[in-house]
Chain A
Amino acid sequence: MKARLTAPNIQLNEQGKLKHLLTLEGLKQQHLLEILDTAESFIDPNSNKIKKVPLLRGKSIMNLFFEPSTRTRTTFEIAEKRLSADIESLDIQTSATKKGESLLDTLWNLQAMQADMFVIRHAESGAAHFFAQHVAPHVHVLNAGDGQHAHPTQALLDMFTIRKKKGDIFDLKVAIIGDILHSRVVRSQIQALSILEAREIRVIGPKTLLPENPEALGVHVYHDIEEGLQDVDVVIMVRLQNERMKSALIPSEKEFFKRYGLTEKRLALAKPDAIVMHPGPINRGVEIDSAVADGAQSVILEQVTYGIAVRMAVMSIIMSNAAQLAQQQAEQQEREFNLESEAEVEGAR
């Protein structure tokens, strides 16, 4: 599969608004803030409950998971149901692609089943872009994680959680710890934090788990967790992506925990009111100690709940943008038609 990884404009429509969500790269602060604000409106501030609304009634959304997922897939499904969309979830690992159908044929068949939106998770970086390049103009694509490239809705829900718990992101120092190299979540998180102008972004991990030139991402790099945690407001842990490692990059999980595991003692080096986040799945005793994961500063489970509202926001904004564009085009056509008719009347005189 050949697809361009960085084609940020393919996801915007003629009005500069989101048509697909493939990556956060190339998006503006206003795009992110619109999503975060809209997500807020789905949550009852008193009960924290997310109510079902009839916004996407009659729309058909297909979840295509070529790679296993629990949290992302389930929260997408819940979000779609809370928006009253009709949904289908396909476990493609066990379907036609196994029988030799090409990705494009699969896509066109699913499109023929009248999907309005695809939510795609794929092990190949660029898969969502590839889909977006080939879908019909009225169909939208949401990236639910592609290879090591991007996981935009995860990063957005993380930003939402940070904003909910700590307020404005531009005041905050954020440390991301663990397997930075293989994580699509981290790539998207760094992009989101940069767009929202976080005060400082730190990445902490061994050289073998960092990209070659991490400073190019606009982050401060630390190899010593204790040094890196000093004075931060937000601690984001990510797991070791063993399935994406092509060779042994760490001596052992035990050794990794000894050097980079988040313990209560280490967490005490961050600000006293720092929050601890993790996109899941967590590996207790590998990157995070149970006492921290279950501790008072952990917001890991709230991230999951907020993921529903954020995904609802992304889907409804994309459909809303499409509606507004169609309306504008219809009005434009009407104006042109009227002008033409006037010209004809003039001509007849």
Chain B
Amino acid sequence: MQELDIDVNALIDKMTAELKPLLKKHPGAKMIGIRTGGEWIAQSLHQQLELTDELGVIDISFYRDDFSKIGLNPTIKPSHIPWDVEDQHLILVDDVLFTGRTIRSALNEIFDFGRPASVTLVTLLDRKGCRELPLQADIVGMPLKCEQTLKLTGPEPLKVMISEPAEVSA
């Protein structure tokens, strides 16, 4: 198995730059991070972009579609969105986009708080080719192949280890 170390800060810088035009268009845009990895990425972006509104954090555990299979996540914490979602332009941040199911859950939860004007999806990594729902990110730090697995650690320092699958022996 091959391991790859990623410079997360460089990716955050790149994503920050790509988010700036959006903030020019919607200066009041607010940010939400998905617990836990997405929250870490969102904290970095929030700081770099110098957003004044507090960062929202959602725990999508109550909104997962596999409760009837795997039950409750034992480390669940309340979601916290400190402002009104109604008519806001939102930047939704997650660490990895994979099947799309987490984002589906997150969107459902956000809509239970209100009807946002728009949602822009930002993810640090995008494991392309394994999507199970028709959801794509607007801003991506780095694309990966579906087969590549990874481990994110944080929040200080933020690190990602990417593993290539061992070649399947014939």
Contact = CB atoms under 8 A, between A and B. Distances in A.
Bin chain A's interface residue count: 20 to 34
B78 interface: yes
B76 A41 contact: yes
Nearest to B63: A54
Interface string B63-99: 1000111111010111110100000000000000000
B59 interface: yes
A46 interface: yes
B72 A52 contact: no
Interface in A316-332: 316-317, 319-321, 323-324, 327
Contacts of A41: 59, 61, 76-78
Contacts of B82: 46
Contact of A43 (B59, B72, B78, B108): B78
B68 A53 contact: no
A42 interface: yes
A327 B63 contact: no
Nearest to B74: A34
A198 interface: no
Interface string B21-63: 0000000000000000000000000000000000000010111
B76 to A, nearest CB: 4
B5 interface: no
B112 interface: yes
A45 B112 contact: no
B62 A45 contact: no
Interface residues of B, number: 19
Contact of A55 (B62, B74, B112): B62
A343 B79 CA distance: 50
A86 interface: no
A54 B107 CA distance: 13
A45 B77 CA distance: 10
Residue of B59, B77, B78, B112 ringed by the most chain A CB atoms within 10 A:
B78
Contact of B70 (A46, A52, A324): A324
Interface string A21-60: 0000000000000100010111111100001111100000
A323 B74 contact: no
Nearest to A34: B74
B80 A46 contact: yes
A45 B80 contact: yes
B60 to A, nearest CB: 10
Contact of A54 (B70, B74, B108): B108
Interface of B: 59, 61-63, 67-72, 74, 76-80, 82, 108, 112
24 contacts: A40-B78, A41-B59, A41-B61, A41-B78, A42-B78, A44-B78, A45-B80, A53-B63, A54-B108, A55-B62, A55-B67, A55-B72, A316-B72, A317-B72, A320-B67, A320-B71, A321-B71, A323-B67, A323-B68, A323-B69, A323-B70, A324-B70, A327-B69, A327-B71
Given A41-B59, A54-B63, A327-B71, 5 more contacts: A41-B77, A53-B62, A319-B67, A323-B70, A327-B70
